[in-house]
Amino acid sequence: MSDEQPAVERQDFIRDIVRDDLASGRHREVVTRFPPEPNGYLHIGHVKSIALNFGIAEEFGGRCHLRFDDTNPVKEEHEYIEAIKEDVRWLGFDWGAHLYHASDYFEQLYEWAEHLIRSGLAYVDDQSADEIRAQRGTLTEPGAASPWRERGSDENLVLFRAMRAGEFADGARVLRAKIDMAAGNINLRDPVLYRILHASHPRTGDRWCIYPTYDYAHGQSDAIEHITHSLCTLEFEDHRPLYEWLVEHLPVPSRPRQIEFARLNLASTVLSKRRLLRLVAEGRVSGWDDPRMPTICGIRRRGYPPAALRDFALRVGVAKRNSVVDPALLEHAVRTELNRTAARRMGVLEPLKVVIENYPEGASEELEAVNNPEDPGAGSRRVPFARELFIEAGDFMEEPPPKFYRLAPGREVRLRYAYLITCREVVKDPSGAIVELRCSYDPATRGGDAPDGRKVKATLHWVSAAHAVGAEVRLYEPLFTRPDPGAERDWVEDLNPASLRVVSEARLEPSVAELAAGERLQLERLGYFCLDPDSRPGRPVLNRTVTLRDTWAKVRDRG
RNA sequence: UGGGGCGUCGGCAAGCGGUAAGCCACCGGUCUUUGGAACCGGCAUCCGCAGGUUCGAAUCCUGCCGCCCCAGCCA
């Protein structure tokens, strides 16, 4: 027993704590919670927290609750509750029957507040917010006691009940904990526990006109749910003493422990609710689900698979150091997942016409193409081939530099799944622009292999001109032009004007038209894409999720 | 002499007194019907700095330096 090795390797300090607590018998099972306030949409930063909380519960055989921290009715909306549930589910996590709301506990929380009053640990303060602020002191100076601090508990009780009964206007009075106005930790300088808010709550309607603050509600909600490990971000470190003070002075059914970790920051994007809202409000993006947005709904529309997001969260790790993660790590996780799972298709973004001169006019045939070389079980499909094709304009150069080994005059290349072709002639319009390539094909190379064993250095994607379907393809680049938007000027100034490029006349192999919105695919040699909900029958709209790694681009840009 | 945290490769991140994991990025190479994928190899004599303890320190002690959070009746 004593020399038993842990089954899981050490991952982070939080899992260490959980493992120790289980091993020592401090807890029989682990219970975590993801506690969003329903006041906005979830974004990639939340994925870290979601994956941490649900992941730990899963790994240690415990459970994770989804709890809406709905203590401030003026900021919260039902719409967000549903959106958040959808996002968490989409990520692949399941809270089972454990869906809760802080508002479920309003009555209990209220009773405990009276308990605090009776214990002489809370008092009703008649001062205004400004007066309270003025008395709080500063970071270096202690605060001063409120004139109402020594009010007797009977009077406090009467007043607090009157607060609840709606006898006072918003802001007229608050309930404060009586702790220490000289504490170095400002959170302990008699924090506000209840405020008067004559506002309708998305769930409790007009039943209440006093609402608990986060500080008062959170720890007690954790205790009610028997949360063992309450994981939150670093900025709440200062609140932990208050969290513990409350849990110690109240007859709560369990003693949860708050543990803080560093929130996720991603380079080249913004994650604050305020900034995201501004992007939407000012029309800088098409909406919360714009595929360039770091919101979960944006990411979903962009085509990122949930498994990739979970993998990303694991790769990012959990620690207490403030850090900024390179989006390349996210893209890596996305490519890894999509490489395994995405069906391959061909499509041309910038079509260049190719006429196979020795291919019979009016004829066509179907060639077999593998759906995913990484997954034999994915099968194959048939791709139409004919005399007139489109290839990618960038795959031809009239005067190729040394390392360019795609198509060029007189050069032979392979058309993927099809034939070896040789460029015989370049046709230009009066302005000198290339409009067409006249090529020949070798009928003996059907499928792509030459019987004589000769090799070509390039394989190009292509599409039959007559069979291809037209499509709109949306190409995305980072929303910002620098990793740290706003570092030197207003962050909006750092918005990337080229973050969206629309290709309206892409040509895709016909089978793409059969895909449903949301389906993901790889356009060979170009990248991973997914069908946008804007797609209509016969007119697909594709979002480029992420490009393929492009070694040639590096070589080209270097020389 | 306000309180609370954090400083290990370009970016994340292990390391918990025994002589610097891993991942991403980057750089080579092999292979290839995606210049994709896969595979092989390279990439911190050094852990913010300075002292000290020790046979031995990124890990312990002391002192500096730097960065982040806190003065909402937001969460």
- The CA distance from A127 to A172, in Å, is 7
From the list A458, A396, A457, A389, the residue with the least C-alpha distance to A426 is A396
The whole-number pLDDT of residue A254 equals 98
- Given A75, A85, A151, A273, which residue is catalytic? A273
Q: Does residue A37 have an active-site annotation? A: yes
Over 70: is that where the pLDDT of A2 sits?
A: no
Q: Measured in angstroms, what separates residue A337's CA from nucleotide B36's C1'?
A: 13
Q: Measured in angstroms, what separates residue A19's CA from nucleotide B15's C1'?
A: 18
At A9, the pLDDT band (50, 70, 90 cuts) reads low
> What are A91-128's pLDDT values in tens digits?
999 999 999 999 999 999 999 999 999 999 999 999 99
Domain that holds residue A388: 347-468
The whole-number pLDDT of residue A93 equals 98
Q: Measured in angstroms, what separates residue A527's CA from nucleotide B34's C1'?
A: 10
Judge whether A409 lies within some domain: yes
Per-residue flag: A185 CB under 7 A of strand B: yes
Judge whether A543 lies within some domain: no
From the list A280, A239, A222, the residue with the least C-alpha distance to A98 is A222
CA–centroid distance for A559 within its chain:
37
Q: Measured in angstroms, what separates residue A374's CA from nucleotide B38's C1'?
A: 10
Per-residue flag: A449 CB under 7 A of strand B: yes
What is chain A's mean pLDDT, rounded?
Answer: 96
| Number of domains into which chain A is organized | 1
- The CA distance from A140 to A287, in Å, is 44
Q: Measured in angstroms, what separates residue A322's CA from nucleotide B49's C1'?
A: 21
Per-residue flag: A321 CB under 7 A of strand B: yes
Per-residue flag: A316 CB under 7 A of strand B: yes
> What are A24-38's pLDDT values in tens digits?
999 999 999 999 999
Nucleotide nearest to A185 (CA to C1'): B3
Judge whether A457 lies within some domain: yes
Over 90: is that where the pLDDT of A11 sits?
A: no
Judge whether A484 lies within some domain: no
The whole-number pLDDT of residue A10 equals 64
DSSP-based three-state secondary structure for A421: strand
Q: Measured in angstroms, what separates residue A33's CA from nucleotide B5's C1'?
A: 23
> What are A294-335's pLDDT values in tens digits?
999 999 999 999 999 999 999 999 999 999 999 999 999 999
- What DSSP string describes A284-319? SSSSTT-TTS-BHHHHHHHT--HHHHHHHHHHH---
Span A387-408, mean pLDDT? 97
Per-residue flag: A414 CB under 7 A of strand B: yes
The whole-number pLDDT of residue A1 equals 30
The whole-number pLDDT of residue A6 equals 35
pTM of the entire structure?
Answer: 0.96
Q: Does residue A273 have an active-site annotation? A: yes
Span A539-553, mean pLDDT? 97
Q: Measured in angstroms, what separates residue A264's CA from nucleotide B8's C1'?
A: 20
From the C1' of B23, which residue's alpha carbon is nearest?
A: A315
What does each C-alpha distance from A192 to A70, A173, A183, A441 come to in angstroms?
17, 10, 15, 80
Judge whether A446 lies within some domain: yes
From the C1' of B8, which residue's alpha carbon is nearest?
A: A321
Residue A454 DSSP class: -
Per-residue flag: A237 CB under 7 A of strand B: yes
Per-residue flag: A201 CB under 7 A of strand B: no
Nucleotide nearest to A133 (CA to C1'): B71
DSSP-based three-state secondary structure for A283: coil
The answer to whether A125 and A176 have CB atoms below 8 angstroms apart is yes
- The CA distance from A91 to A93, in Å, is 6
Per-residue flag: A312 CB under 7 A of strand B: no
The whole-number pLDDT of residue A183 equals 97
What does each C-alpha distance from A541 to A70, A519, A547 come to in angstroms?
38, 11, 17
Over 90: is that where the pLDDT of A7 sits?
A: no
- The CA distance from A323 to A321, in Å, is 6
At A558, the pLDDT band (50, 70, 90 cuts) reads confident
Over 50: is that where the pLDDT of A160 sits?
A: yes
- What are the structure tokens assigned to A522, written together? 């790889």
Judge whether A425 lies within some domain: yes
Positions 279-298 of A with beta carbon below 7 A from strand B are: none
Judge whether A394 lies within some domain: yes
Per-residue flag: A132 CB under 7 A of strand B: yes
What is the CATH number for A439?
2.40.240.10
ipTM of the complex: 0.97
At residue A198's C-alpha, the angle toward residues A194 and A201, to 5°, is 85
Over 70: is that where the pLDDT of A390 sits?
A: yes
- What are the structure tokens assigned to A414, written together? 């392979």
- The CA distance from A323 to A258, in Å, is 21
Q: Measured in angstroms, what separates residue A329's CA from nucleotide B42's C1'?
A: 21
Q: Does residue A263 have an active-site annotation? A: yes
Judge whether A325 lies within some domain: no
Phi, psi of A444 (to 5 degrees): -75, -10
> What are A467-476's pLDDT values in tens digits?
999 999 999 9
Positions 13-42 of A with beta carbon below 7 A from strand B are: 13, 16, 35, 37
Please list, in sequence order, all residues whose beta carbon lies within 8 angstroms of the beta carbon of residue A230, skipping any fewer than 6 positions away.
A32, A33, A218, A219, A222, A243, A256, A257, A258, A259
Give the number of other Cβ atoms within 10 Å of residue A272's Cβ: 11
Give the number of other Cβ atoms within 10 Å of residue A455's Cβ: 9
- Given A85, A151, A203, A263, which residue is catalytic? A263
Per-residue flag: A487 CB under 7 A of strand B: no
Burial A393-408 (b: 16+ CB within 10 A, else e): eebbeeeeeeebebbb
DSSP-based three-state secondary structure for A108: helix
> What are A207-256's pLDDT values in tens digits?
999 999 999 999 999 999 999 999 999 999 999 999 999 999 999 999 99
At residue A271's C-alpha, the angle toward residues A492 and A63, to 5°, is 170
Residue A9 DSSP class: P
From the list A321, A295, A303, A255, the residue with the least C-alpha distance to A519 is A303
